Amino acid sequence: MEDIVLASKRCLLLIFLVIVSLFLCQKVTYVSAFNYTKAYRHVSNLRLERIQNHLNKINKPPVFTIQSPDGDVIDCVHKRKQPALDHPLLKHHKIQKAPRRMPKMMGKERSDDVKEAANVLESAWQMWHVNGTRCPKGTVPIRRNRMNDVLRAKSLFDFGKKRRSIDLDRRTEKPDALGTNGHEHAIAYTESSSEIYGAKATINVWDPKIEEVNEFSLSQIWILSGSFVGPDLNSIEAGWQVSPELYGDNRPRLFTYWTSDSYQATGCYNLLCSGFIQTNNKIAIGAAISPLSTFKGNQFDITILIWKDPKMGNWWMGLGDNTLVGYWPAELFTHLADHATTVEWGGEVVNTRASGRHTTTQMGSGHFPDEGFGKASYFRNLEIVDSDNSLVPVRDVKILAENTECYDIKSSYSNEWGTYFYYGGPGLNPRCD
């Protein structure tokens, strides 16, 4: 009898261990899926050699190196040695000095009292600043790219590039938000009959959760010109994004992007190819932003301005009230060498449906716009730059979202925030599958 009881206990213990083992395997599989790395043993020596050669081209020799507490390495590179100047169209380019005249303000500015009452704290900054170290004068901070960063990409060609959100043969003469291929948006946009020379907005920064390594969530400004139905769309973009594939983590980061051929071959994120010329030694494009907005707590936002210098024709990026980050040279573009025709503000996510259902990747704060301040993400004080180099408040915008059960947008107007909107959502939920 005792033998039977002992055997039963052993059997139960064995079953228990099997169940625990299966559980642990599931946990390990889940955790490893979010390590955002790939094992080298699956990569040929030839591919590793090609990747290393590419890294040697884009990682320029630093004058000084800063170790960020989030794990990033920031290289301080002499401004004349930065990757942008490797572009064949920029071989003889002379780095432009800061424009003497930024776009003029029109209309009423927010007062500090209004800002304080709204519980909005400006100047969300970057984690590599925590220890107070800065790059020396005459250099620019560049986030160092590593082997794992490239291995997470689909291919070396795809590294640092947006995958086309719209098939060229399926495009219509509509804003970029009407996409396919798994890209979903919630945007406001303006299409002016007059020429547009820039745009501005203030965006609060969150840390949306990302389900799959090759999905992302971003909030940005698009400056667009060219045809939405052809291969010649020009786009200049800047904002914040969470992209595990690009950065290897879930931190929101300042980013830029550009293309002159509808995301086919030209352009890239940040400084991952030649093009964008950085002039600021205190801001690292691609570096993590900190602190962040919290649900029912303080809201931290960044103000982004993109505008065309009327004298030299280059497209400058500003951060905050008057901090210049750098510029996209006019030589990079065809249609945007002149002016823009459309501006978009809003969010974008990638929904791969990897599990046969809608992704749980969040847009913005992960909450719907009707939850309002302190809970939902916002863009406020939308403005465009006119032909007189003046910032003009946008009074009428159109809004657009492909699937409002997953991500939505609601726009409004107030004296303090001008034209603004709340946007975003959780992705998968009982109404979104």
Find out whether 124 and 266 touch, Cβ atoms under 8 Å.
no
3-state secondary structure of 299: strand
**Separation CA 406–CA 426 (nearest Å):** 6
Residue 344 appears among annotated catalytic residues: no
Find out whether 258 and 272 touch, Cβ atoms under 8 Å.
no
What contacts 321, CB < 8 A, 6 or more positions away? 303
89-104 burial: b if 16+ Cβ within 10 Å, else e: ebeeeebbeebeebbe
**Separation CA 303–CA 299 (nearest Å):** 13
CA separation, residue 360 to residues 34, 41, 245, 406, 433 (Å): 14, 31, 16, 9, 10
H helical segments located in 94-229: 112-117, 147-151
3-state secondary structure of 302: strand
Find out whether 228 and 213 touch, Cβ atoms under 8 Å.
no
Alpha carbon distance, N-terminus to C-terminus of the chain:
55
Residue 416 appears among annotated catalytic residues: no
Residue 274, CB-side half-sphere exposure with 13 Å CA sphere: 17
Task: Give the helix/strand (H/E) hosting 139.
Answer: strand 139-143
Find out whether 217 and 206 touch, Cβ atoms under 8 Å.
no
What type of residue sits at position 130? V
The most distant pair of C-alpha atoms in the chain lies apart, rounded to whole Å, by 97
Catalytic position from the list 184, 211, 237, 344: 237
Torsion of CA 202, 301, 130, 284, to 10 degrees: -30
**Separation CA 419–CA 190 (nearest Å):** 12
Retrieve residue 223's tokens: 């400056």
Give the residue numbers annotated as catalytic, written as ranges. 237, 348
